[in-house]
Amino acid sequence: MVDPPKRITDNCIAERIVMMNRRFFLGVLGPASAFAQQGPPREERVEKMTAPASQTLALCHVGFLPRAGKILVVRNPISPAPAEFTLRNLVDPWGFKPRTFPLREVNADFGRHLVGDFSSFADEGYYQIDVGAQRSVPFWIREDVWRRILPKALNYIHSQRCGVAVPNVHPVCHLDDAKRRDNGEYVDTTGGWHDAGDLRKWMSATMMNGFALLHLARNLGEKWNADGSGTAPLLDEMKWGNRYFLKMQDPSGYVWHDVAGGVNGDNSDNHWTDNQVGTADDRYINTSRNMRIQAMFCYLQALAAGVYRATDPGYGQVCLAAGLRCWKAAKQEGGTGDLAWWVLAAIELHRATGREEFRSAAVALAGQLLQLQVTGYEHGQKIVRGYWRMSAASPDPYASPTDSALPAYALLEAGQAFRADSGSRRWLDAVKMHIDDYLVPMTSRSPYRILPYGLFVGTPTAETYRPLAGGLTYRYFLPVRKQFWWQGLNAHLACCALLLFGAAKEFGEPEYRNLGLRQLEWTFGANPFAACLMTGEGARNPYPYSRYVGLIPGGIMNGIAGNVQDEPVLDTEMGFDWRTLEYWSPHVGYFTWAVSAV
């Protein structure tokens, strides 16, 4: 427990923040969404943004594992194109003889590029690459190259704590959360984490922080951090977030949707408050019951039960009981994305309880998910198969800005958890088909090897959809004319990486791991802007859309989005564009979860 705080308005800095935000939201914008108020000039500017015309040297600013793929991409190379690049050692420039490697020209999606492969070079060290007169950012080759930045990701999660003062980030906040939208009743829902570059507490998004913490603890244990702190920081942080999640469960067992999401889908609750219950600035609880949130909650609480079993078994049982109440109350149904989360929930509840009912449920749900996979070459083409339909009612190809690879990942987990079941082989074969006949062909269409956002049938909106074959098209980025809500896709890529890392181990395919690393590398500099999109790591970091607290080391921005032509866009001109620059919990969540598996 924290000491009773002074009112936030007693802090002169906080008072200034409160006044500024009240004036901004109530005086300038009124009750409608701040996002919706950005207006045509900003929309037109964002739609027309393009990647820089000058050449860039794109590679992963974090660095590379010694025994893994290492790729350099040169965008818009000069003519005549250089035939090779040079690798220099920055620590021992006199004792290390520079190495040269060939560059090959590639003309694919996103235009003309040069690609250099130095995967064969495995010596640990600190390096830099020269291509003619251009020089890359410095980078490491070392075994802990990804693990060493995990503490930054934890810092982001900790900095987003709500209901307590976070030193050097924000004063104590939102001790008056919140009152129900439906009947105005006050319910203590303090705690948890702010979700993004704002102050709202979406359950679906912030539970991703919980998955990150618990998978770090389970997969890496004390090895997650070299400082000797063990898993205590992870488990302590998880308890803080889960304090809020558990409060969001109503007596029936269902879990509510969010706190501070607004009253009618607007942005009116996105503000600091006076910390006093019953005053005009109190925020609201959305008590609606979203099935995906129920599935995620069940999975998270069952996972917590297993992770805390050794260190705090009493707390683990509290989590398990909450997960079981939610499972009993909810219906295990929904579209493809929902079913994927339900499969994971059933698997974890079986691990936590050993009860046959959860094994049977996992098998049945995996069977439903399997039926939604497209196993033939449809729409007059023979290039891709193995992707999913949106649901039993919608034949459109499944796409998600966050959970794109989760259906295959859920079947991979089911196949591994229940190998003795007759369906296990079919589930694992479905995963293999998804990777070999969908992910690999689609990632091969650009020099960056990233997975496009999704497939489409024809051209659903008045903008560019890249032709694949037959009636299928695709976009690397979310459509921008379908709705106002579109953004970068760092969570989508990290989810894909998570699948590929698990599949690499299951099927003994090191190239799956290399392809998974390429998905993460896009976020960390191997992109057309050569920009690292985690604050405090790498170079050319855009200034994030973090309206209330500013820079948060370890925060991952939405990332590169697309314009009408499906060309990559990123606000590098201080435009404060939330679509590309806003922090968001799913990016950090999936990134951390994936790194725990690599």
Name which of 291, 298, 293, 288 is nearest 204 in CA terms: 293
Looking at residue 39, its pLDDT comes to 37
Q: What is the tens place of the pLDDT at every residue in 124-169? A: 999 999 999 999 999 999 999 999 999 999 999 999 999 999 999 9
Q: What is the tens place of the pLDDT at every residue in 385-412? A: 999 999 999 999 999 999 999 999 999 9
Q: Judge if 115 and 64 occupy the same domain.
A: yes
Looking at residue 53, its pLDDT comes to 64
Please report where in the chains the tokens 């998880």 appear, as a residue.
Answer: 238
Point out which residues pair with 104 in neighbouring strands: 115
Q: Judge if 120 and 177 occupy the same domain.
A: no
Q: Which three-class secondary structure state does DSSP give residue 116?
A: strand
Mean pLDDT, to the nearest integer, of 5-28?
34
pLDDT band at 45 (very low <50, low <70, confident <90, very high): low
Find the CATH number of the domain harbouring 118. Answer: 2.60.40.10
Q: Judge if 126 and 174 occupy the same domain.
A: no
Question: For residue 580, what are the domain limits?
Answer: 368-417+428-597
Last residue of a domain, one of 329, 360, 391: 329
- Higher per-residue confidence, 131 vs 266: 131
pLDDT band at 484 (very low <50, low <70, confident <90, very high): confident
Looking at residue 263, its pLDDT comes to 87
Q: Judge if 485 and 526 occupy the same domain.
A: yes
Looking at residue 379, its pLDDT comes to 97
Q: Which three-class secondary structure state does DSSP give residue 579?
A: helix
- Higher per-residue confidence, 485 vs 156: 156
pLDDT band at 266 (very low <50, low <70, confident <90, very high): confident
Residues 6+ positions from 461 with CB-CB distance below 8 Å = 479, 481, 482
Torsion from C-alpha of 507, 71, 527, 98, nearest 10 degrees: 150
Cβ–Cβ < 8 Å for 69, 518: yes
| Domain presence at residue 1 | no
| Domain presence at residue 350 | no
**Least reliable range by pLDDT among 66-75, 92-101, 154-163, 185-194:** 92-101
Task: Look at residue 515 and tell me whether its pLDDT is greater than 60.
Answer: yes
Largest CA distance in the chain: 73
pTM over 0.75? The answer is yes
Looking at residue 353, its pLDDT comes to 98
Task: Look at residue 207 and tell me whether its pLDDT is greater than 90.
Answer: yes
Cβ–Cβ < 8 Å for 552, 583: yes
Q: Which three-class secondary structure state does DSSP give residue 170?
A: strand
Looking at residue 339, its pLDDT comes to 98
Task: Look at residue 590 and tell me whether its pLDDT is greater than 50.
Answer: yes
> Domain count of the chain?
3
| Domain presence at residue 42 | no
| Domain presence at residue 320 | yes
Please report where in the chains the tokens 């170079």 appear, as a residue.
Answer: 539
Q: Judge if 136 and 154 occupy the same domain.
A: no
Distance of alpha carbon 499 from alpha carbon 404, whole angstroms: 10
Other beta carbons within 10 Å of 200: 20
Torsion from C-alpha of 105, 108, 110, 116, nearest 10 degrees: -30
Q: Judge if 164 and 264 occupy the same domain.
A: yes
Last residue of a domain, one of 92, 113, 141: 141
Task: Look at residue 7 and tell me whether its pLDDT is greater than 60.
Answer: no
Q: Judge if 307 and 434 occupy the same domain.
A: no
| Domain presence at residue 352 | no
pLDDT band at 52 (very low <50, low <70, confident <90, very high): low
Q: Judge if 483 and 527 occupy the same domain.
A: yes
Q: What is the tens place of the pLDDT at every residue in 560-587? A: 999 999 999 999 988 899 999 999 999 9
| Domain presence at residue 463 | yes
Q: Judge if 277 and 378 occupy the same domain.
A: no
Q: Judge if 299 and 437 occupy the same domain.
A: no
| Domain presence at residue 188 | yes
Find the CATH number of the domain harbouring 385. Answer: 1.50.10.10
Q: What is the tens place of the pLDDT at every residue in 159-198? A: 999 999 999 999 999 999 999 999 999 999 999 999 999 9
Distance of alpha carbon 166 from alpha carbon 331, whole angstroms: 38
Looking at residue 51, its pLDDT comes to 67
Task: Look at residue 95 and tell me whether its pLDDT is greater than 90.
Answer: no
Task: Look at residue 432 and tell me whether its pLDDT is greater than 90.
Answer: yes
Mean pLDDT, to the nearest integer, of 335-360?
98
Q: Judge if 226 and 101 occupy the same domain.
A: no
Cβ–Cβ < 8 Å for 585, 491: no
- % helix, strand, coil for the chain, step of 5: 40, 15, 45
Q: Judge if 207 and 116 occupy the same domain.
A: no
Q: Which three-class secondary structure state does DSSP give residue 90?
A: coil
Task: Look at residue 34 and tell me whether its pLDDT is greater than 60.
Answer: no
Write down the mean pLDDT value for the chain. 91
Task: Look at residue 2 and tell me whether its pLDDT is greater than 50.
Answer: no
| Domain presence at residue 231 | yes
pLDDT band at 43 (very low <50, low <70, confident <90, very high): low
- Higher per-residue confidence, 21 vs 508: 508
Last residue of a domain, one of 86, 121, 141: 141
